Each structure stands twice: as structure tokens, then as C-alpha cells.
Amino acid sequence: MCVWYNTETAYLLLCFVMTQSHDKLFKRRREDFWCEQCGAQVAGDGYTNHCPQCLWSKHVDVRPGDRAAECGGLMEPVALVKERLTHRCVRCGYEKNNKTAADDDFDALLRLANRIADGR
């Protein structure tokens, strides 16, 4: 995002600073992993933040990709609104919204939606 100021130089400088700040907040990591909830082997693409089979995640990041969270608890999918999953850490209660992925198991998404609709 860039904000317009009176001179083109100030505008370009602000765009550069804001872009650099965003880049420092997100660290893309291509990591394959075994899901600790269902045991599925997951091929990460650098944006993968949950298991596409069971939709569970792990509390490992403070900011996306930084692996700075000390908790390490499993994160249960507890909400699904449009294309957003909400995960809640079963250890500390932290909640995080994540996008659904193209390779997410459709049946798992339906089971989650039904569970939420049933109030479970």
C-alpha cells in the first residue's frame, strides 16, 4: 500500500519503506511436514499453514513464517466463513484466521461446516 504525498520522491520512498516492512513481516518457508493430528504427509508450498486432509494447524508462528511462537500446540479448525478458516490453539487458546487452500479436502470442509452448524 502506498500513500500519496506532495512530491513523487516522497511517494516512492514511502512505497519502498512500506514494501520493505511487509517483506520483513512475512517469511515464506517451503516446508514439508507430517500432520500431528491425522498423520498425513503434507507437501508445503511456502504458504501452507494447515493440513489439507484434516484442516488442523500448529501454533508455530507469531508472524506468518517466522516460527517464533513458543507454544507449539495443535490448532483446531473451529470456524469457516467464506474462504477463511479460524484455528484455535488447544494449548493456549490463541486464534488465527487462515485462507482455505485449493488442495483442502472438500469432505473435511463439509464436515467442519456441519459441525459448526450443529453447534459442536
Residues 72 and 98 occupy one common structural domain: yes
Residues 110 and 62 occupy one common structural domain: yes
Number of domains comprising the chain: 2
pLDDT one digit per residue (tens) for the chain, 120 residues: 444 444 444 444 444 444 444 445 667 878 899 999 999 999 988 888 899 999 999 999 888 888 899 999 999 999 999 899 999 999 999 999 999 999 999 999 999 999 999 887
Residues 13 and 70 occupy one common structural domain: no
Residues 70 and 109 occupy one common structural domain: yes
Residues 107 and 53 occupy one common structural domain: yes
Residues 91 and 41 occupy one common structural domain: yes
Classify residue 67 as left (phi > 0), alpha (psi -120 to 50) or beta. Answer: left
Residues 106 and 53 occupy one common structural domain: yes
The pTM for the full model equals 0.74
The confidence score (pLDDT) of residue 25 equals: 67
The confidence score (pLDDT) of residue 88 equals: 97
Residues 22 and 42 occupy one common structural domain: no
For residue 9, the enclosing domain spans: 1-27
